[in-house]
Structure 1
């Protein structure tokens, strides 16, 4: 039980199982990974809040408006999943291949893979972003 107490002392927010919409943390990021414009985020928690022993490092609702993007970037020892909620976007993989993604589509960048996302449409592109630590690669930091 002492492990749970120390985790709670570090960050009690991580032990929650329900994150209400009105409690989410609003955090907008500019030119993410060399992309354009603003990535609008509402987070349950962010990477800087997560403890080392938690697999899920970040969960957030993200919005890219027309002309905004996340630049293509690598993931070394974590995995990043986008679940498209609404709108339409262009997913770019590490080879530069572009794929149209729409509501219901799921993308993932695994360790040593790269990805990016952009919105060229008038409708906002809304997606759930989940970043998880790959503990099999924990020795790489």
Structure 2
């Protein structure tokens, strides 16, 4: 399966997971969209505005992967903060919590993948 970037409609979302600010998202697999026979629950590119954040939230029944594509920010996992930037890969396992805040002057762009 191939999903072309230009075919994915940008979706504006505010207050992701209760965080401040907003982002433009492009989904290859949107949240709550079912892909028959797959463990993928969401696959998308997220562009956080300067100062925006994905609020802290817990993953009880699934896991999430972030790949930072551009920008810089602070990633919080289980209450511990880490500086992150382009090329960093962030893996969150079940029963843990995380958040991501854009601390740069430009957008913080990352690939997000949720699997069960």
8 Å contact from structure 1 (residues 39, 70) kept in 2: no
Higher RCO (CA 8 Å, separation ≥ 6 residues): 2
Show the 5 A alignment for 1:1-141: 17-51=1-35, 53-94=37-78, 96-133=79-116
Question: What's the CA shift for 1:25?
Answer: 3.1
C-alpha RMSD over aligned residues: 1.2
Number of positions where the alignment pairs a residue of Structure 1 with one of Structure 2? 116
8 Å contact from structure 1 (residues 25, 45) kept in 2: no
| TM-score when normalising by structure 1 | 0.78
Q: 1 or 2, which has the higher helix percentage?
A: 1
Runs (4+) of structure 1 exceeding 2 A deviation are none
Q: Aligned partners of 1:20, 1:53: CA distance in 2, in Å? A: 21
| TM-score when normalising by structure 2 | 0.93
Question: What's the CA shift for 1:39?
Answer: 2.4
2:38 match: secondary structure: coil
8 Å contact from structure 1 (residues 25, 44) kept in 2: no
2:37 match: secondary structure: coil
1:40 match: secondary structure: strand
1:48 match: secondary structure: coil
Q: 1:54 to 1:112 in 2, by over 3 A?
A: same
Give unmatched runs, 5+ long, in structure 2: none
